[in-house]
């Protein structure tokens, strides 16, 4: 391939990356003069590639918005990144319900890769392992996902038909703040307009979504991901647990992440020791079972006090007795 042809294709690739590119920038990237860049642009226009000229101080060249450009050119590393993203997304559950779309896209890219690059991809794919497969019901309907995403971006109310975990169906109007992918599932956080409270909904449980007239103002903070984690920690469960733990937030989070526990400042009582960087913090959890908590508290290796429930105190005491008994036998 001649060098001018190579440069024309490189120009096309630069324009494909999006935005407006100045003549000076393109000339520098291609190693040519500005008038040569203009000649290369004319070559692309002759090939029916819709290159637009943008006037003004920050003008230059760009591709017409919405143009579906064949062929799409990837470097070796870009092709590998796309393929690995498709594989990881499918295996971790972060895909749409149309799983065949991801599979066929990966197959098309894999088929046209040079053998050397294809072998690299196969080596990585065969080396990958995932801790657990995604749930079959965790993938949202693509139309629902796109509709809700559009409502988030343009701050428009959206009407949804939702089925909760108990199978109850309801129609709601949602002011959607953001979409969050977590642990192989997709969620949307926002305000339920009917009850005037913030809520979190699983996207795969939304059967229908339709944008409505009007707009709303989304709060600046907290961010949607933080709202999701907070909603998990505050969900209704059988037991409410309150603890005081002496340490740092980072130390506590190693065993009690934000998805299951909230951490608050605590005014130390008389006799409670404070030290640099470490202090007494109040930790709250809502859990279905208590039996897993004593080993977790022991593994923290930090002083703690149980405020409630009494049942947890009994379980901690029983664990301590078992450990002491084992030590005596040793």
Between 230 and 319, where is the model more confident? Answer: 319
Q: What is the 3-state secondary structure (H, E, C) of 199-251?
A: EEEEHHHEEEEEECCCCCCCCCCCCHHHHHHHHHHCCCCCEEEEEEEEECHHH
How many domains in the chain?
A: 4
Assign 303 a pLDDT band (cuts: 50, 70, 90). very high
Mean pLDDT across the chain: 81
Question: CA-CA distance, 205 to 141, in Å (whole number)?
Answer: 9
**Residue 119 and residue 157 in one domain:** no
Question: CA-CA distance, 61 to 41, in Å (whole number)?
Answer: 8
Kindly report the CATH number assigned to the domain that includes residue 181. 2.30.30.520
Tell me, yes or no, whether 69 lies in a domain: no
Least confident among 139-148, 230-239, 309-318: 230-239
Tell me, yes or no, whether 137 lies in a domain: no
Question: CA-CA distance, 130 to 75, in Å (whole number)?
Answer: 27
Question: pLDDT tens-digit profile of 51-65?
Answer: 898 887 767 898 887
**Residue 188 and residue 108 in one domain:** no
**Residue 82 and residue 54 in one domain:** no
Question: CA-CA distance, 186 to 93, in Å (whole number)?
Answer: 9
Question: CA-CA distance, 222 to 225, in Å (whole number)?
Answer: 8
Q: pTM for this structure?
A: 0.49
Please name the residue that has the structure tokens 């961010």: 223
**Residue 217 and residue 147 in one domain:** yes
Tell me, yes or no, whether 107 lies in a domain: yes
The radius of gyration of the chain from alpha carbons, rounded to an integer in Å, stands at 28
* Mean pLDDT calculated for residue range 172-190: 85
Q: Which residues of 167-206 are buried (b: 16+ CB within 10 A; e: fewer)?
A: eeeeebebbbbbbbeeebbbbbbbbbbeeeebebbbbbbb
Tell me, yes or no, whether 230 lies in a domain: no
261 by Cβ neighbours in 10 Å (0-12 / 13-18 / 19+) ranks as buried
DSSP annotation of 129: -
* Mean pLDDT calculated for residue range 302-330: 88
Residue 212: per-residue pLDDT: 93
Domain of 285 in residue numbering reads as 239-329
């Amino acid at each position: 391939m001649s060098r001018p042809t190579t440069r024309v294709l490189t120009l096309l690739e630069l324009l494909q990356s999006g935005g407006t590119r100045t003549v000076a920038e393109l000339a520098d990237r291609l190693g040519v003069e500005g008038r040569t860049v203009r000649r290369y642009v004319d070559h692309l226009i002759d090939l029916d590639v819709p290159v637009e000229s943008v006037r003004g101080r920050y003008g230059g060249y760009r591709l017409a918005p919405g143009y579906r450009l064949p062929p799409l050119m990837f470097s070796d590393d870009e092709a590998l990144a796309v393929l690995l993203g498709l594989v990881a997304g499918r295996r971790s559950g972060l895909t749409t319900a149309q799983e065949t779309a991801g599979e066929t896209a990966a197959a098309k890219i894999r088929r046209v890769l040079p053998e050397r690059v294809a072998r690299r991809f196969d080596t990585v794919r065969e080396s990958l392992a995932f801790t657990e497969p995604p749930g079959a019901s965790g993938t949202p309907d693509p139309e629902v996902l796109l509709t809700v995403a559009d409502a988030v971006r343009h701050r428009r109310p959206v009407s949804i038909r939702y089925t909760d975990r108990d199978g109850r169906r309801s129609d709601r109007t949602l002011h959607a703040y953001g979409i969050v992918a977590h642990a192989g599932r997709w969620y949307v956080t926002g305000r339920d307009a009917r009850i005037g409270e913030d809520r979190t909904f699983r996207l795969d449980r939304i059967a229908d979504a339709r944008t409505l007239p009007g707009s709303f103002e989304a709060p600046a903070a907290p961010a949607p991901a933080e709202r999701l984690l907070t909603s998990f920690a505050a969900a209704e469960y059988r037991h409410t647990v309150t603890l005081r733990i002496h340490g740092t937030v980072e130390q506590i989070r190693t065993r009690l992440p934000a998805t299951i526990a909230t951490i608050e400042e605590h005014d130390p009582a008389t006799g409670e020791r404070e030290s640099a960087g470490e202090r007494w913090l109040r930790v709250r959890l809502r859990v279905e079972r208590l039996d897993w908590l004593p080993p977790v508290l022991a593994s923290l290796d930090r002083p703690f006090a149980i405020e409630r429930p009494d049942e947890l105190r009994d379980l901690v005491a029983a664990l301590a007795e078992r450990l002491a008994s084992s030590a005596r036998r040793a």
